[in-house]
């Protein structure tokens, strides 16, 4: 689908998303200095426990953006709701990806937010993934490339599988014994840091060669922002059947995926994940 927004509108949304996420980060960092910020306050629309800092991040971004635009919110915490009198487009967010890390003081988490003209991956126009602890901003606008702060990013250059660094969320493969006996042991280095959206940006900028999550539980709201950043950087994002990720960016839609620096690695990881021999 071709872009429905002019370059000016794309810049508006990138800057707005960046500013909203930056403000949310500062408010949550301030909140975390208090004793109540870790309190559990309910269950979000995505089914996970909501902590006060999740809500602070979400409400900060909503309040900032509603000052000068109207949209339909699609969030892991609040679910779907109209914001403003004449909503146009969809604001898709995971206020804090890596909440467990934040709760335990592990410095790896992010704020992920995207704007889409329609509620599907092919209609995402602008995206921001803000590293919560460092403040580094990954961002992309459709057709404009991907950036880490002001620097354009590209995936890693090809290198042998045995020296590649691949992120793996739990569930690949489902049986750890099968993993030990499979060709997947060709992957010498694996990592999982606890915030998938940020790890997908690491594939986009070449820090990781690939990332695998075949659990089938990753929500569209979690994946939306990182998906655009990956694709605009030139990386590959496919499902377990080797097809490009398409569909709705909601809490109700769940995805498995393989992200990779290039098509060759994506296909190799796909074969390893399915148990096929790559020889």
Question: 3.40.190.80, 3.30.70.100, 2.30.30.830, 3.50.30.50: which CATH number matches 161-274?
Answer: 3.40.190.80
pLDDT at residue number 187: 64
Which carries the bigger pLDDT value, residue 39 or residue 49?
Answer: 39
Fold: same for 7-150 and 161-274:
no
pLDDT digits over 195-218, tens only? 999 999 999 999 999 999 988 889
Which carries the bigger pLDDT value, residue 176 or residue 163?
Answer: 163
pLDDT at residue number 188: 61
Question: Is the model's pLDDT at 276 over the cut of 50?
Answer: no
The pTM for the full model equals: 0.89
pLDDT at residue number 179: 46
- Give CA–CA dist 124/223, Å, rounded: 11
DSSP characters for the chain? ----S-HHHHHHHHHHHHHHHHHHHHHHHHHTTSTTTT-EEEE-TTSSEEEHHHHHHHHHHHHHHTTT--EEEEETTTEEEEESSS--SEEEEEEEETHHHHHTT-S--EEEEEEESSSBGGGEEEEEEEETTT--EEEEETTS-EEETTEE--PPPP--GGG-EEEE-TTSSSSHHHHHTSGGGG--EEE--S-HHHHHHHHHTTSSSEEEEEEEEEEHHHHHHHHHHHHHHT-EEE-TTSPBP-SB-SSS-EEEEEEESSHHHHHHHHHHHHT----
Confidence of residue 10 (pLDDT cuts 50, 70, 90): confident
pLDDT digits over 86-120, tens only? 889 999 999 999 999 999 999 999 999 999 999 99
First-last CA distance in the chain: 37
pLDDT at residue number 7: 62
Q: Which CATH architecture has domain 7-150?
A: 2-Layer Sandwich (3.30)
- For the chain, the average pLDDT equals 88
Which carries the bigger pLDDT value, residue 100 or residue 10?
Answer: 100
pLDDT digits over 52-65, tens only? 999 999 999 999 99
pLDDT at residue number 56: 95
Query: Taking the domains of the chain in order of start, what are their residue ranges?
Result: 7-150, 161-274
pLDDT at residue number 182: 55
Name which of 9-23, 126-140, 221-235 the model is least confident about.
Answer: 9-23
- Give CA–CA dist 10/2, Å, rounded: 13
pLDDT at residue number 117: 95
pLDDT digits over 24-46, tens only? 999 999 999 988 888 887 665 55
pLDDT at residue number 40: 84
pLDDT at residue number 170: 67
pLDDT at residue number 47: 56
Closest CA to 227 of 209, 195, 203, 208: 203
Mean pLDDT for 5-32 is 90
DSSP characters for 43-85? E-TTSSEEEHHHHHHHHHHHHHHTTT--EEEEETTTEEEEESS
Question: Is the model's pLDDT at 221 over the cut of 90?
Answer: yes
DSSP strand pairing (79-83 vs 90-97): unpaired
Question: Is the model's pLDDT at 192 over the cut of 90?
Answer: no
pLDDT at residue number 45: 55
């Amino acid at each position: 689908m071709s872009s429905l927004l002019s370059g000016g509108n794309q810049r508006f949304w990138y800057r707005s998303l960046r500013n909203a996420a930056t403000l949310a980060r500062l408010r949550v960092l301030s909140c975390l200095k208090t004793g109540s910020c870790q309190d559990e306050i309910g269950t979000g629309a995505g089914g996970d426990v909501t902590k006060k800092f999740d809500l602070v991040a979400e409400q900060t971004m909503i309040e900032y953006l509603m000052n000068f635009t109207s949209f339909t919110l699609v969030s892991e915490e609040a679910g779907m709701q109209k914001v403003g009198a004449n909503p146009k487009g969809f604001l898709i967010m995971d206020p804090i990806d890596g909440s467990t890390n934040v709760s335990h003081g592990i410095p790896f988490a992010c704020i992920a937010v995207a704007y889409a003209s329609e509620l599907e991956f092919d209609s995402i126009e602008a995206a921001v993934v803000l590293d919560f602890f460092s403040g580094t901003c990954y961002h992309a606008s459709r057709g404009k490339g991907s950036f880490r702060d002001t620097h354009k990013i590209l995936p890693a250059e090809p290198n042998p599988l045995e020296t590649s660094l691949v992120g793996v969320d739990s569930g690949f493969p489902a049986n750890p014994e099968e993993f030990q006996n499979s060709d997947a042991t060709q992957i010498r280095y694996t990592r999982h840091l606890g915030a998938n959206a940020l790890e997908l940006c690491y594939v986009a900028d070449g820090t990781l060669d690939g990332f695998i999550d075949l659990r089938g539980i990753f929500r569209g709201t979690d994946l939306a922002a990182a998906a655009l950043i990956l694709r605009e950087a030139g990386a590959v994002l496919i499902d377990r059947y080797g097809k490009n990720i398409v569909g709705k960016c909601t809490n109700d839609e769940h995805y498995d995926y393989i992200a990779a620096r290039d098509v060759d690695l994506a296909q190799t990881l796909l074969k390893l994940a399915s148990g096929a021999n790559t020889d």
